[in-house]
A = this chain, B = another copy of it.
């Protein structure tokens, strides 16, 4: 028997056959209700098991007292309970044979030494049982192609861009824009504190995923640089990266956010340039670059022609095009003559 392929393991999270929601709630204001509802509303085809010892049914689904009461065990557990109960719940998942977990709950390494200790317990339990874990402190996962939206906002359009984000808000902004333009996504994974699954795992996964055309990753720091390098060397899809923590104080802010080392920005620049990784500097660029790779035909060259009724607009556009390295073409005198009004 060989060790499980870490890429295939993520199928339990992004293509599960069955899902338990540990901490499902009867209260529509709570995430434990909203996530369960989004899983149902996204059209998930397998069984969904709410886990809540105090309810009989939620959203017309029968409730279970604990994950061990579910038979057969679900592929994926989505966990939304207070941080101090998470290690025990994950332990039960491991014992019962659950293969993947998405821990939405916060209160871990981002919350101080006590949370740090809880996160360490999560890592130990995950490793002991071989359960792959997304989060904690994350906004969940969405794969509209499977389909499964264990996240928010609900996005059901099937698109080409897989979004990986260390920030739930940045990911949600991308989901909002992709929804507004009816483009949808290939998948969305909010990584949160990256106790286990990180950007390297996910880039490797989406590089093989037939539904993904472009990978867009918001990161504050690369968790495992050597493994990352091995993965990007084999990359055959466009990868757009928005790497924050560029400035000294931004770096301090990044390191306090999800407790990741941000590293010197120049090293990232060099690394990205070497591996043809497209670096975005703003969230707007992050969206635009990913969209362009996914939906536009690559131009044959760098020449561009402006057609405008405004001289001023034409000059401003020419300036910007030149600054971006484009070659502003001029019409041949013969063609210009035929176009004269």
Contacts and interface: CB of A to CB of B under 8 A. Distances in A.
A310 B174 CA distance: 14
A177 to B, nearest CB: 15
A62 interface: no
Given A246-B323, A247-B322, A248-B322, A169 B309 contact: yes
Given A258-B311, A311-B257, A312-B257, A318 B169 contact: no
A313 interface: yes
Contacts of A246: 319, 322-323
Contacts of A309: 169
Interface stretch (A148-156, A160-168, A232-240): A160-168
Interface of A: 110, 165-170, 218, 220, 242, 244-250, 253-254, 256-258, 282-283, 309-316, 318-323, 328
Ranked 9 nearest A-B pairs via Cβ: A167-B312, A169-B310, A247-B322, A257-B311, A250-B319, A244-B315, A170-B312, A250-B318, A253-B318
27 contacts: A165-B312, A167-B312, A169-B311, A170-B310, A170-B313, A170-B316, A218-B312, A220-B312, A220-B315, A244-B312, A244-B315, A245-B319, A246-B319, A246-B322, A246-B323, A247-B319, A247-B323, A249-B322, A250-B315, A250-B318, A253-B311, A253-B314, A253-B315, A254-B315, A256-B311, A257-B315, A258-B311
